[in-house]
């Protein structure tokens, strides 16, 4: 589902920008169903990864502070430009705030006009899960049935829904240092029909799991997985280590794994591989999806998706949503752009409004 080109919009509509609020995003997702929405989003992400060379690419622009980070994530192809504003503040949860909030904009390259403004807190959770499961489709062991989920916070259920929709996983082993987080995840996931096992340690959680997802929030060098916890043939979906100074895996795991990344220039700064030498070999996922290099080669291979999130995934999500609201449903029209009768007379427009 691609974005509607600006040239197809009526001139009178160009002064207004479709806006998808949190309320409308929830309605949009429910109208399609969570797993169907994720499946459709994953298909668009996959299409865009396969045309990776067509995009402008740069590591995200990050402003770090003592308490967290605020980031801009821009990219563009020949037709559209997109960016996401997103924060990451691990302390927020203790103060009653979301750890991550986000919004995004999609614009026409042809005239620079924005054609979509949308919330991206929910949408980021959905696109992160869609990307993880899409990568799992290429890298997880064939016939995988069990996933360990270490870190049961806001992303947990989205990951589970995505891996069921794209990879067929329905059995989950949950662990979090905060039992209340596991209570929440267990309640939500049982209601969605998953088979759930609560575990009392990370070591217990990984027992019998073919896929291990790590998703913790604390901004620190942490060791959520130690080397002895990872057996042959496992796929690791490492999504918590996503900024400088924040990791989840012991370095020895990286040395035993085949590592797959979105954009090396960003992942080497932010991902698990910030622990390694700058020239340590990694494989770019777009090449796997295009069939240019191998993904999973054999049953004993340990594959690691060092996920940090990249702007092209957000671009895909923006285009996907823009396509879904093309009929005018699930959005409002914002009077965001000045539209004087004479494009040269912006001042006249201002004075006539007095």
State how far the Cα of 312 lies from the Cα of 6, in Å rounded to an integer: 20
The single-letter DSSP state of residue 243 is: B
**Residue 9: pLDDT band by 50, 70, 90 thresholds?**
very low
Long-range contacts of 142-145 (CB under 8 A, 24+ apart): 142/296, 144/168, 144/169, 144/210, 144/211, 144/235, 145/169, 145/170, 145/171, 145/210
- How many CA atoms within 13 Å lie on the side-chain side of 142? 6
pLDDT above 80 for 171 = yes
Q: What percent of the chain has pLDDT over 90?
A: 85
Sign of CA dihedral 254, 258, 263, 264: positive
Q: Which residues on neighbouring strands pair with residue 119, listed in sequence order?
A: 103
State how far the Cα of 230 lies from the Cα of 122, in Å rounded to an integer: 31
The alpha carbon torsion through 301, 305, 306, 310 (nearest 10 deg) reads 150
pLDDT at 4: 42
pLDDT above 70 for 344 = yes
Largest CA distance in the chain: 73
pLDDT at 13: 54
pLDDT digits (tens, 9 = 90+) for 52-69: 999 999 999 999 898 889
The alpha carbon torsion through 170, 173, 174, 177 (nearest 10 deg) reads -160
Please say if 242 is a catalytic residue.
yes
- How many CA atoms within 13 Å lie on the side-chain side of 115? 30
Domains and CATH numbers, the chain: 12-123+312-352 (3.30.1780.10), 141-310 (3.40.50.720)
Task: Transcribe 38-87 into DSSP letters.
Answer: HHHHHHHHHHHHHTGGGSB----EEEE-SS-EEEEEEEE-SSEEEEEEEE
| Active-site choice (176, 178, 227, 242) | 242
pLDDT digits (tens, 9 = 90+) for 67-112: 889 999 999 999 999 999 999 898 898 899 988 899 999 999 999 9
Average pLDDT score over residue span 179-185 = 97
State how far the Cα of 155 lies from the Cα of 254, in Å rounded to an integer: 23
State how far the Cα of 314 lies from the Cα of 317, in Å rounded to an integer: 5
State how far the Cα of 322 lies from the Cα of 335, in Å rounded to an integer: 18
Average pLDDT score over residue span 155-184 = 97
Q: Model's pTM, two decimal places?
A: 0.93
Average pLDDT score over residue span 154-161 = 96
pLDDT digits (tens, 9 = 90+) for 215-233: 986 666 778 899 999 999 9
Residue 304 has which token pair? 């690691």
Q: Are 305 and 37 in contact (CB under 8 A)?
A: no
pLDDT at 222: 78
State how far the Cα of 178 lies from the Cα of 207, in Å rounded to an integer: 20
State how far the Cα of 342 lies from the Cα of 349, in Å rounded to an integer: 9
pLDDT at 244: 80
State how far the Cα of 332 lies from the Cα of 323, in Å rounded to an integer: 15
Other CB atoms closer than 10 Å to residue 13's CB: what's the count? 13
Other CB atoms closer than 10 Å to residue 18's CB: what's the count? 25
């Amino acid at each position: 589902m691609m974005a509607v080109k600006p040239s197809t919009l009526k001139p009178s509509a160009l002064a207004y920008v479709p806006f998808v609020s949190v309320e409308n995003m929830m309605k949009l997702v429910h109208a399609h169903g969570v797993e169907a929405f994720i499946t459709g989003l994953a298909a668009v992400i996959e299409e865009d990864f396969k045309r990776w060379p067509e995009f402008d690419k740069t590591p995200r622009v990050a402003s770090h502070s003592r308490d967290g980070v605020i980031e801009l994530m821009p990219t563009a192809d020949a037709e559209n430009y997109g960016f996401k504003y997103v924060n990451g503040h691990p302390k927020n949860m203790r103060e009653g705030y979301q750890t991550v909030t986000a919004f995004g904009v999609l614009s026409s390259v042809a005239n620079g006009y924005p054609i979509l403004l949308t919330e991206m807190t929910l949408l980021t959770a959905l696109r992160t899960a869609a990307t993880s499961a899409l990568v799992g489709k290429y890298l997880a062991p064939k016939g995988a049935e069990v996933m360990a989920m270490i870190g049961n916070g806001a992303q947990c259920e989205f990951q589970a829904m995505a891996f069921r929709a794209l990879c067929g996983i329905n059995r989950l082993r949950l662990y979090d240092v905060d039992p209340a987080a596991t209570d929440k995840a267990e309640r939500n996931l049982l209601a969605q029909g998953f088979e759930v096992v609560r575990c009392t340690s990370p070591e217990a959680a990984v027992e019998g799991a073919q896929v291990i997802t790590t998703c913790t929030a604390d901004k620190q060098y942490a060791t959520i997985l130690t080397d002895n916890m990872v057996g042959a043939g496992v796929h690791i979906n490492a999504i918590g280590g996503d900024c400088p100074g924040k990791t989840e895996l012991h370095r020895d795991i990286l040395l035993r794994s085949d590592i797959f990344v979105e954009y090396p220039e960003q992942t080497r700064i932010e991902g698990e591989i910030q622990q390694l030498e700058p020239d340590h070999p990694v494989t770019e996922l777009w090449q796997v999806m295009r069939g240019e290099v191998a993904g999973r080669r054999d049953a004993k291979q340990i594959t690691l998706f060092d996920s940090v999130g990249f702007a092209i995934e957000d671009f895909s999500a923006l285009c996907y949503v823009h396509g879904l609201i093309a009929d005018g449903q699930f959005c409002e029209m914002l009077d965001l752009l000045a539209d004087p009768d004479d494009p040269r007379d912006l001042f006249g427009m201002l004075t006539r409004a007095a």
